[in-house]
Amino acid sequence: MAFSHWLARLRSCSKKSAFSNAFCDYFYHNKFQFSTCPNNLPSTIAEKTRTRFFSWSSSLLPLAFAVSAGSLAFRSQNIQPSLCEPTNLDSRIATIGGKASTEFVVKGIHKQIPQELIDELKAICQDNMTLDYEERFYHGKPQNSFHKAVNIPDVVVFPRSEEEVSQIVKSCNKHKVPIVPYGGATSIEGHTLSPNGGVCIDMTLMKRVKALHIRDMDVVVEPGIGWMELNEYLEPYGLFFPLDPGPGATIGGMCATRCSGSLAVRYGTMRDNVISLKVVLSNGDIVKTASRARKSAAGYVVLLPMSFNHLTPVLFPARHVLIFLALSSILHVLKALGTFRSPRDISLNSWSPRDLVKKIISVDAHSGSELVTYNVDTWIMADDRVHVTHVEARLGCLILHPFLIQVFTKYDLTRLMIGSEGTLGVVTEITLRLQKIPEHSVVAMCNFPTIKDAADVAIATMLSGIQVSRVELLDEVQVRAVNIANGKNLPEVPTLMFEFIGTEAYSREQTGIVQRIVSEHNGSDFVFAEDPEAKKELWKIRKEALWACFAMEPNFEAMISDVCVPLSHLAELISRSKQELDASPLVCTVIAHAGDGNFHTVILFDPNQEEQRIEAERLNQFMVYTALSMEGTCTGEHGVGTGKMKYLEKELGIEALQTMKRIKTALDPNNIMNPGKLIPPHVCF
């Protein structure tokens, strides 16, 4: 192999400097194993790795040079295929979820699950697993989603502990069998479909509250507990968890989709309310993403050749790199072998190892003269980034190839996992930020002649500086659905609902200010409630909006949009969408989290009528593309799953999707973690 040739050249290096001697001796006494197959490259991000390329006591700089040289050799062989979806899919299957896809039945490749794996799962889970068809069918069809898949899980397991989840995942990875995590089954975009069969991991038996820290206002829970159950547990302590998606949602699923709810305008989304996670990776490793501290700058370091694109990044704990920089610092090498020039008189000579850890350093090395010489130009790219370029060197007979050393002191694994939809790992423990139950609250409702008037009031309220906790908008069709479902007699006009919290005096003051804003925008029938039961009854109208829609068309399915735009564009987006919805023959309702620019439509259609499904898809696409034209997103809180993949390239660009694909490949080289979700199948690198 070409790399063996490089090693032979290294061993015959001429002794021109102490540095080159040490460099050659290092490779002579340390054996390295490389493979061009990405599935065999190391992908761990934890401190413990199964494959160790070197001893921590040795310098890391020669490793960077060696990998750089190896990258040149491997590139010349041209044998690494593009990393895409399996090539044995036909063209119809490969476009599911990709650009311009209009299919909603997700296809996949089903392989017979090995009996050996079933025996292993039986040994792990005992009686907490099933092969029953009805149970598997139930887990293969989301309860509130029109999305379907051609296959269902081959087996459903119900782990009771983190250790069992780790063993299950490890066994599935060994047999390369797909895994689909499963929670409350309230997701809308096909997240829990099993298009390739495999193992469904139902987390609902893992629902303990492991620790409550009242003085720290946080709680440690397992993923199977529902947010409503958790708040019932917390209420006697005067605390609550402030996210409120659909009833039945579990904390694990809420992390997976990075959900929010009506209270996000005040408390943020799931991303803002999770302190730490424990996650089982595809190889069975259990990773703790952060401590329980509210702030941390601890992180990881990545060494990656600039031109070796298919190499899986190798991550090192930052403290080990501090040791390395103290013992065999890059700056010492450059100081001994090179000269430094800087347009802003910033010299690498004066940097400490700790300074280097806080920087991202790029070194572009090319073949130079026979002597070991370095010419380095440096400049500041930003406050926290330095780019070093134009390095020429020749160490004996070794020609250096471009490589990159990246140092991240804030590599946030918690945020990486939140919203990853089970494609990177299975969440087994969550530490959540809690809030005090407000001393007093007021719920208000008011009506408007047009939906634009209602949206304008929502925007004006936010701009007034009032700290509302909820601002919800319902159009006249949605109010009609509420009346039908609950026997109400509400005015069937666009309606806004508010919640104000704080002290009694402050809540009433806010109510009065908003009442004046409403009157200035053609609002009417402003009513408010302070009695606890009356407030619950009003919010019940909003929380059960989806089920109320089915009262109008009990045998229909719902396609639910989830676009979100900057707040200033909300009124225009809703107005343009409403015109299109009203002109459609389908029944369509509008529900919006109007305080943060997130708005939904419930489009009811007969699943047996293809023309109705196509019309529903057309309306959904109209709203998505309109939102994207306003610098918005195709999904504010429901997640991507299979339903929104086709819009991601338009929203983020192919480069972002390729980066996501690289992360997925690094952490899940066998592609067993919820395959076919989040990343469109046409994305390659």
What integer pLDDT is reported at residue 102 of this predicted model?
Answer: 53
d(CA 397, CA 478): 75
Give me the mean pLDDT over the 89-94 stretch.
38
- Maximum average pLDDT range among 145-149, 210-214, 382-386, 466-470: 210-214
Position 600 pLDDT exceeds 90: yes
What integer pLDDT is reported at residue 298 of this predicted model?
Answer: 62
Through-space distance between the first and last CA atoms of the chain, rounded to whole angstroms: 24
Give me the mean pLDDT over the 294-313 stretch.
47
Q: By C-alpha distance, which of 402, 55, 436 is closest to 240?
A: 436
Burial group, residue 58, by CB count within 10 angstroms (0-12, 13-18, 19+): middle
Name which residue leads in pLDDT, 375 or 455: 455
Tally of CB atoms within 10 A around 350 = 10
What integer pLDDT is reported at residue 512 of this predicted model?
Answer: 94
d(CA 110, CA 89): 11
Position 17 pLDDT exceeds 80: no
What integer pLDDT is reported at residue 143 of this predicted model?
Answer: 75
pTM of the predicted protein model: 0.73
Rg over CA atoms, the chain: 28
Position 348 pLDDT exceeds 60: no
Name which residue leads in pLDDT, 473 or 85: 473
The mean-pLDDT minimum among 9-13, 115-119, 139-143, 250-254 falls in 9-13
Give me the mean pLDDT over the 549-573 stretch.
93
Buried b (16+ CB within 10 A) or exposed e, 226-239: bbeebbebbeeeeb
Query: 490: which residues sit within 8 A by CB, 6+ positions away?
Result: 479, 482, 483, 541
- Of the pLDDT bands very low, low, confident and very high (cuts 50, 70, 90), residue 399 is very low
Q: C-alpha 482: how far from its chain's center?
A: 34
% the chain with pLDDT above 90: 60
Is 603:550 a contact under the CB 8 Å cutoff? no
What integer pLDDT is reported at residue 147 of this predicted model?
Answer: 85
What are the beta bridge partners of residue 495?
A: 447, 474
What integer pLDDT is reported at residue 101 of this predicted model?
Answer: 56
Instruction: Convert the pLDDT of each residue in 539-559 to its tens digit.
Output: 888 888 888 999 999 999 999
What integer pLDDT is reported at residue 83 of this predicted model?
Answer: 55
Instruction: Convert the pLDDT of each residue in 416-475 to its tens digit.
Output: 999 999 999 999 999 999 999 999 999 999 999 999 999 999 999 999 988 899 999 999
Tally of CB atoms within 10 A around 31 = 8
Instruction: Convert the pLDDT of each residue in 172-200 to its tens digit.
Output: 999 999 999 999 999 999 999 999 999 99
d(CA 357, CA 411): 12
Position 584 pLDDT exceeds 50: yes
Tally of CB atoms within 10 A around 475 = 26
Q: In what helix (H) or strand (E) does residue 122 lie, and over which residues does it extend?
A: helix 115-125
What integer pLDDT is reported at residue 541 of this predicted model?
Answer: 83
- Maximum average pLDDT range among 14-28, 58-72, 91-105: 91-105
Give me the mean pLDDT over the 292-314 stretch.
50
Q: By C-alpha distance, which of 560, 678, 679 is closest to 619?
A: 560
What integer pLDDT is reported at residue 362 of this predicted model?
Answer: 33
Position 231 pLDDT exceeds 50: yes
Query: Which pair of structure tokens corresponds to residue 348?
Result: 């690498």
Is 85:129 a contact under the CB 8 Å cutoff? no
d(CA 272, CA 270): 5
What integer pLDDT is reported at residue 73 of this predicted model?
Answer: 37
Is 680:645 a contact under the CB 8 Å cutoff? yes
- Maximum average pLDDT range among 27-41, 100-114, 139-153: 139-153
Give me the mean pLDDT over the 111-118 stretch.
95
Give me the mean pLDDT over the 322-345 stretch.
37
Is 179:159 a contact under the CB 8 Å cutoff? no
Q: By C-alpha distance, which of 600, 591, 595 is closest to 563?
A: 600
Q: By C-alpha distance, which of 225, 217, 203, 207 is closest to 280?
A: 203
Is 545:478 a contact under the CB 8 Å cutoff? yes
Is 257:674 a contact under the CB 8 Å cutoff? no
Question: What rounded mean pLDDT belongs to the chain?
Answer: 76
Is 225:241 a contact under the CB 8 Å cutoff? no
Position 262 pLDDT exceeds 80: yes
